[in-house]
Copies of this chain bind each other. A is one copy, B any other.
Amino acid sequence: MVNLKDVAKRAGVSVSTASYSINGSTLISDDTKKKVLDAAKEIGYRPNGMAKNLKKQKTNIIGLFLSGFSGPFFTEMMEGIQDVVMSKGYELVVCASADRHRLLVESYVDGAIILNYHMEDHLLESLANEKLPIIMLDRELKGPYIKNVLLPNKKGSAMMVNYLISKGHKRIGFIAGSIESYDGESRLEGFIKELNNHNISFLEQDLLRAEFTELSGHYQMSSYLEKMGNDLPTAMVCANDEMALGAIRAIQENGLNVPDDIAIVGFDDIYASQNNNPPLTTIKVPRKQWGTIAAQSLLQMLDNQFDFEPEQILVELISRTSG
């Protein structure tokens, strides 16, 4: 491997001069600088990031740590993060893991954005205690180096409940996702709470548990229909769009009509929702903005500003024909 020493030797200067030249320091005369740069190009020099980071105690890398890559939901968010991170001279790496991740734990990153329910609170807290700035996207966590950028799930659910009640619905079911999901559970929580605000109590029997996928939504709704016979709610709120789409399919397969027999509404506004038949009424989440705000907040911390609250994310009810 060709290193700085080789470049220096070739250019006939010392290692330090070579380093300065390559990093564009003003200390070095243009002549020597050129000599060094030429030498570097000639022998194909490429700096070693590990050595550089070790010395500088800084990587200029931001990590986005996910629990997995699946789902159409996250790519827009990743784009939002990438835009901001890149514009500030950092690099983004996206990693998935089933628990701790080497890149997070072993000082590969200057800051981290977490959307990974596998990762334990105390790991993240102790990292933050060692001054690693962290943005939490999937739960609330406190700490001097931690900021939360969370979706207004409860507010979204409340909006949806109000909307459905204003349309005359009195018995409303809910298709929840897996219980580990912060977003999913707070959507459920907000839903029940707003129902109660209207003096409607939620029937446990009308709570279905799926796993955020179209398939699981379809499956759970099918068994529910079979189990309940004609004893059905007039509307169901789903914790995300995918499950809503699956539920709609199940209902239609049973010869029932959406929204006439059962209204189905979702959460997220993924791309497929508008083209569905019928188009899905849902809560639109500004995914790219979510990423943008997360990245901005992180970079602000990396700039040694800690006394701020991340910008609020606003959701919007999109009324289509499914509910």
Interface residues of chain A, those whose CB is within 8 Å of chain B, are 1, 44, 46-54, 57, 59-61, 68-72, 74-76, 78-79, 82, 91-96, 101-103, 105-108, 126, 130, 214, 245, 249, 271-272, 275-277
Contact = CB atoms under 8 A, between A and B. Distances in A.
A263 B52 CA distance: 57
A102 B76 CA distance: 23
Total copies of this chain within the assembly: 2
Given A46-B105, A47-B106, A50-B54, 7 more contacts: A1-B130, A49-B102, A49-B106, A75-B75, A93-B93, A245-B275, A277-B277
A102 B52 CA distance: 12
Contact of A71 (B1, B71, B75): B75
A103 B72 contact: no
Contacts of A48: 54, 106-107
The 5 closest A-B pairs by CB, nearest first: A49-B106, A69-B78, A93-B93, A94-B94, A50-B54
B59 A70 contact: no
A73 to B, nearest CB: 10
Contacts of A52: 106
A160 B22 CA distance: 53
A51 B47 CA distance: 15
Contacts of A69: 75, 78-79, 82, 94
Contacts of A106: 46-49, 52
B272 A107 contact: no
Contacts of A78: 69, 96
Contact of A49 (B72, B75, B95, B108): B108
A289 to B, nearest CB: 15
Contacts of A47: 106
A71 B275 CA distance: 16
Contact of A53 (B50, B72, B76, B276): B50
Contacts of A79: 68-70
Contacts of A82: 68-69, 96
Contact of A107 (B50, B70, B126): B50
Given A78-B69, A79-B69, A275-B272, A91 B107 contact: no
Given A96-B92, A101-B91, A276-B275, A51 B54 contact: yes
A125 to B, nearest CB: 12
A61 B52 CA distance: 18
B107 A46 contact: yes
Contacts of A60: 102
Contacts of A245: 275
Contact of A59 (B50, B75, B214): B50
Nearest to A242: B271
A236 B128 CA distance: 55
Nearest to A54: B50
Contacts of A70: 75-76, 79
Contacts of A1: 57, 107, 130
